Structure formats: structure tokens, C-alpha cells
Chains A and B, each alone.
Chain A
């Protein structure tokens, strides 16, 4: 993962030719695009894990829901932040009510709702199932939100030509580092999810024998 991250980052930051229009700012897209596309996968992931929690009562699935929510919030926040930094140069402003940004923002709010529901419910079993249910409802909702926001956006800004697709790098010297960064971020996501789940398992099983033995080593 680190290898990919290092290669991707250096390539993207140092060797990719500057975009003739956007200059150096373009380079943040190498972080933004992978992070943003991954952050879209959180709700489906949580909904699947939530269904497993509700139907089969598998504790591991609940742990995934639990650790994915804050992770997803971070990813979404990072995507929003990198997007708005990129926006400063491209659009001339930190924030515009672009369709993608708006639906990401709403997804961020929904994730915050799940996190705060989890922290408010004392009983861990009830919290697990409530959050699982909310993840499923949220996942359906995120899809509806996405479509309705796009629709709202196209009607409100019929003349806009900006959008990220047109600005995406197109030659191989652009997309190879992007691909590497994509793999790197995906690996980063997987590793952090696994590490966080491991922590969660250790915390929940803190009274069991194997954890005690592990601590003593």
C-alpha cells in the first residue's frame, strides 16, 4: 500500500505535465478523484453489512458498520475538502452548489447521523441493529438524493460547463498515476477498515482468554 502511495504521489506531484489550463492545482485531483469515488462506496458497504447484522446477527458485520461510519465520514470530508481546494483555482470559489458536492455533503450528514445515533444508544445490541437499519435506509436514500440533486442542479445551472469529467486527465501520462493513486487509496481504505475492525474485535472480546494472553505477551 505504502509503495503504491509513494509511487503514485510522487509521480502525480512531480512528473505529470502541468495542465495548460489549470496549472499545479490539477495535481490535487490525484487525491480527490480516488477518495471521492471510494467515499461513494461506503453506504453500499454499510448497507450490506447492516443487512447481515439484522438477518444473521453476525457480530463481525456490525463491527464493520460501526467502524465504516467514521471512516466514511473522514473520506467524505477529505473528498469535500480536496474538491473545494481544487475548486478555488478552477471555479474561483471554495464552494459552489455543484451536484456532486451537494450530494456528498448530504451523505456526510447522513453518516454523522449514524455516528451520533450509535453514540447515543447505550445498549450495544440495540445500537448495532438501529445503525444497521439506518444504514440500509440511508443507502436507499443516498441513491435518491444523488439523482434528485443532479436533477436539481441541471435545472438550476443549465449553462454550466464545469464538471470534473471534462477536466480529467486523458493521456496515459495522466491516467497511469491516477490509476496507481486509485489503487493506493483503495488499499489504504481496506487496511484502515481491517485495522479498525481488529481494534473493535479486541475491545469487545477484552474479557476473553485469548485477548488476555495477547496482552500479556
Chain B
């Protein structure tokens, strides 16, 4: 397991350097259709996300941004059309997909009575083994040094958001799906997150994000719903 993954990542860097134009398509959807309460949210929607790309989804309130993200994660399956992961139907490889997907939703998944450390430990431990030292490090990087051991209901909304962002530092997921991650962040948090998106894309990962924030990323693709 371990040597194999080392191998692929090393290979990944090599291929990216030599042939940046032929990066693999990671996720693509075609002809997506979703209807909610007799109202069509979107139809004939198609997109592709390649490795190293950031896909920004815009749209007015109620245009189906969150629904689209949840459909892509497999949390919502009331849609028609096809979604493929590296060219294969997503339904056939859900476990592999979930092994390398990182989703931060509108509700960030931070339990109020647990401390940031305990929250982070659990969410990360669903995917990979992490040492405590690394958790402390990640929390320090997102500006929560000194808050590691205080219960999350004492933290502000922005700080709780930062707890979830610490997952981005630890995870080696290749695809990030983030739903309005900038809303509660202050200026420092925004630039931190932007930096994270950039470095993830540079390392060959992909991001799908809903936000109205102007993103400064090298390979940015925008899609507007509604």
C-alpha cells in the first residue's frame, strides 16, 4: 500500500512537469437534471474537472449550488444524468471515491461539545491514520493555537469553520468539495484558504467550490447556475 502510493505521487509530479496539457479528467458530469418540489433547478448541465483545476460554482440564492455539490458527493441522489470519476461511472466505485474525497458542507461537521482537537481527530480518522502531533500542527496553522482543548461551543463561527479547514491541511484527498467555505472567515482566513486551494491545485488535486469570492488561482474554471 505505502510504496505504491509514494510511487504514484512521484510519478504525478513528473508527469505534471513534462506534460501539463494532458492532465487526466478527474470528475465529469453530463446532462445533469435535477428537479425539486416541482421546480427544475438545473437541466442539461455538464462540466469537467481536471486534475489541478479549481471549479467555482456561482449562482443566485436557491439556484441549486448546494444541491449540485451534494449530488456530486452522493449525498443526494434525486437527479438524472451521469457522473463519472476518472472516466468510470461513479456509482461503481463509491468506496474509492469516498476514500479520496473531502467534503465540507454548509454545516461544517464540528461537534459543539468536543474540542477542535477531538473533532479533527475523528473526521480525519474516518479516512486515514493521523498522529496527534500533526493535528496540533494543523490547528496551529489555521490560527487555533491555544484553542485546541477548549470546547467548540466557546468558539466563534469563523473559528469553527477554521477547525474544518484544518482537515484540508491533513487530508491527502485528491478532490475537495467545499460549500461556501469563505462566508464566516475574516481577511486572514480568506487568504489562508486561498493559499490552501492554490497549493492543492498545484499538487495536482482538484477543487469544486461554491462562492462569490474572487478566487486568484492559476487554473480557474467558472460555472454559473440558474
Contacts and interface: CB of A to CB of B under 8 A. Distances in A.
| Chains A and B touch (C-beta atoms under 8 A apart) | yes
A128 to B, nearest CB: 10
A207 interface: yes
A207 B35 CA distance: 14
Interface in A177-217: 207
A124 interface: yes
A125 interface: yes
A123 B36 CA distance: 9
B37 A123 contact: yes
B94 to A, nearest CB: 17
Interface string A40-63: 000000000000000000000000
Interface string A115-139: 0000000011100000000000000
B24 to A, nearest CB: 32
Query: Contact residue range for chain B?
Result: under 10
Contacts of B78: 125
Contacts, number: 4
Interface centre among A123, A124, A125, A207 (most CB of B within 10 A): A125
**Interface SS of chain B: helix, strand, loop or mixed?**
loop
B38 interface: yes
Contacts of A124: 37
Query: Contact residue range for chain A?
Result: under 10
Contacts of A207: 38
B30 to A, nearest CB: 20
Contacts of B37: 123-124
Nearest to A125: B78
B77 to A, nearest CB: 9
Nearest to B35: A125
Nearest to B38: A207
Contacts of B38: 207
A125 B38 CA distance: 11
4 contacts: A123-B37, A124-B37, A125-B78, A207-B38
Interface of B: 37-38, 78
Give the top 4 A-B pairs by smallest Cβ distance, nearest first.
Answer: A125-B78, A207-B38, A123-B37, A124-B37
